[in-house]
């Protein structure tokens, strides 16, 4: 975890889980790495992990079985919504940022062509 970055560690942690879901490594009903193990793995305070999990729980993405652990929600619909909304949010905040800073669609198109992401 990058301690000095602007993004809170607990957000970095929850983003990792979300990333695993979106990439298909974690699916509906799967167990999530335990707070204790995650704490060791990422070298952060257990409370920070818990904080991340609580956040995901509030968003309905994971739930907890007392004494057992956290699990990915069983509602596939929520995971699908996540996939769609996350994408929309990333795209829109990116475009917003781009325009505010005075760049144009042409700048963007050129950059994407240059990187081989779109062609012609």
| Contact flags string 11-30 toward DNA, x per CB under 7 A | x-------------------
Q: Which of 28, 34, 63, 75 binds a second copy (CB under 8 A)?
A: 63
Task: Show the tokens assigned to 58.
Answer: 């509030």
Q: Phi/psi class of residue 116: alpha, beta or left (left: φ > 0; alpha: ψ in -120 to 50)? A: left
Under the criterion CB under 8 A, does residue 86 sit at the interface with a second copy? yes
Under the criterion CB under 7 A, does residue 37 sit at the interface with DNA? yes
Distance of CA 13 to CAs 10, 40, 79, 95, Å? 5, 13, 18, 25
| Contact flags string 44-73 toward DNA, x per CB under 7 A | xxxxx-xx-xx---------x-xxxxx---
Which lies closer to DNA via its Cβ, residue 14 or residue 79? 14
Residues 14 and 56 sit within 8 Å (Cβ to Cβ):
yes
């Amino acid at each position: 975890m990058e301690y000095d970055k602007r993004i809170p560690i607990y957000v970095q942690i929850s983003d990792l889980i979300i990333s695993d879901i979106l990439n298909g490594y974690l699916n509906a009903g799967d167990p999530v790495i335990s707070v204790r193990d995650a704490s060791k793995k990422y070298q952060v305070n257990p409370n920070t992990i818990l904080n991340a999990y609580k956040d995901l729980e509030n968003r309905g993405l994971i739930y907890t079985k007392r004494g057992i652990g956290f699990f990915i929600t069983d509602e596939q619909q929520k995971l699908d919504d996540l996939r769609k909304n996350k994408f929309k949010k990333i795209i829109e905040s990116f475009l917003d940022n781009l325009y505010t800073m005075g760049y144009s669609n042409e700048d963007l198109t050129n950059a994407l062509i240059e990187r081989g992401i779109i062609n012609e």
